[in-house]
Amino acid sequence: MNELYLIAGMAVVTFVIRYSMFVVAGRFEFPARLNEALGYVPPAVLTAIIVPAVLMPNGESIDLSWTNAYLVGAVVAAVISWTSKNLLLTIVVGMAVFFGWQWLVG
């Protein structure tokens, strides 16, 4: 395995992506419409990561049943986040419910 090439290649492409728009923005002013659109980036990307992870924990089919501990944990976490606005509490309670449910139904 060419580990050195692998890591160097991964490091280069990752850095280029992360740095790309800093360079572009240094030369041009972004159009107002693009700046508006970028305001939606955090919730859009987060949701696109969360939903498949929670509803398709096996990576293949959608599991909407009550035995899906990921779904139960996610619903509880969403409620805690909505009511408490406390991120750490959301993570701790969400994980606890997830593990408890997994243990109960597992």
Q: How far apart are CA 6 and CA 14, in angstroms?
A: 12
Asked if residue 37 lies in contact with residue 50, where contact means CB atoms within 8 angstroms, the answer is no
Query: Of 31, 32, 40, 67, which lies in the binding site for other proteins, with binding defined by CB under 8 A?
Result: 40
Query: Of 31, 66, 90, 100, which lies in the binding site for other proteins, with binding defined by CB under 8 A?
Result: 90
Decide: is 35 part of the binding site for other proteins (CB under 8 A): yes
CB of 65 to other proteins, least distance (A): 16
Decide: is 52 part of the binding site for other proteins (CB under 8 A): yes
Query: Of 13, 66, 67, 104, which lies in the binding site for other proteins, with binding defined by CB under 8 A?
Result: 13
Total residues binding other proteins (CB under 8 A):
68
**61 φ, ψ (degrees, to nearest 5):** -125, 155
Q: How far apart are CA 26 and CA 53, in angstroms?
A: 36
Q: How far apart are CA 12 and CA 53, in angstroms?
A: 28
Q: How far apart are CA 16 and CA 23, in angstroms?
A: 10
Residues that bind other proteins (CB under 8 A): 1-3, 5-11, 13-15, 17-22, 24-26, 30, 33-56, 62, 69-70, 73-74, 77-78, 80-82, 85, 87-88, 90-92, 94-95, 98-99, 102
